[in-house]
Amino acid sequence: MTENNPLNALVATCHWIGEKGWCPATGGNMSLRQDRQYCLISESGKDKGLLTADDFLQVEIATNHVPSGRTPSAESGLHTLLYGLYPEVGAVLHTHSVNSTVLSRVERSQGLRLQGYEMQKSLAGQRSHLDEVVIPIFDNSQDIAALAAEIAERAHAHPLQYGFLVRGHGLTCWGKNIAEARRHLEGLEFLFQCELQRRLLEAK
């Protein structure tokens, strides 16, 4: 995968996500920062495994305005929030995998704590399985503006890293570029599967 053409790299990543089954029934949404003012976000209602470059819409980060008048994915406000909060974020991936959806409901606290897994080192800056990684969890809401405000409030108190979960909904993760966002997605999905399996075995 090359970053020489970021949009092509994002399309390829969407196809890979589709093959993984992490965005069934046209769910999920993906985006790419163009600059400080604009990003490109996948259009609503599109199969992520079949996306083309024409299925990404330019969105103004500060206002969520879409110059073309087309309809971006419903959670576009969460993407623009992340781009606005963190200038270093270059790509955002939002998926609906079974593991992230179920684990976000099983875990009752406001954060999923991961520790003891070698694959924690797939996350930027993580050096040891002994460190603790906390993935924030937010209650689901159809009011995206209200959800974005809640995420922003917690982010100001505790800066977000890697990703967050929305209960019964899925994972939103990011990186400085598409390659890092994709690595974080794959690493987190692996960790979620391990954690869910561990809890199931311990419950027996």
Above 80 in pLDDT, residue 162?
yes
- Asked if residue 169 belongs to a known ligand binding site, the reply is no
In a domain, 75, yes or no: yes
This prediction's pTM: 0.94
Residue 10 lies in a domain: yes
Share of the chain above pLDDT 70, in %: 98
Q: Report if residue 1 sits inside a domain.
A: no
Contact 147, 174 (CB under 8 A): no
Q: Is residue 57 part of a domain?
A: yes
Range of the domain at 40: 6-203
Q: What CATH code is carried by the domain that includes residue 64?
A: 3.40.225.10
Per-residue pLDDT, 121? 97
In a domain, 72, yes or no: yes
How much is the pLDDT for 74?
Answer: 76
CA distance 59 to 82: 13
Which sign, positive or negative, has the C-alpha torsion 90, 95, 100, 104? positive
Q: Report yes or no on 166 lying in a domain.
A: yes
What's the whole-number mean pLDDT along residues 74-98? 96
Checking if the pLDDT of 153 tops 60, the result is yes
Provide the domain count of the chain: 1
Is 184 annotated as a binding-site member? no
The per-residue pLDDT for 1 is 43
Tell me what pLDDT residue 84 has: 97
Q: In this structure, is residue 122 part of a structural domain? A: yes
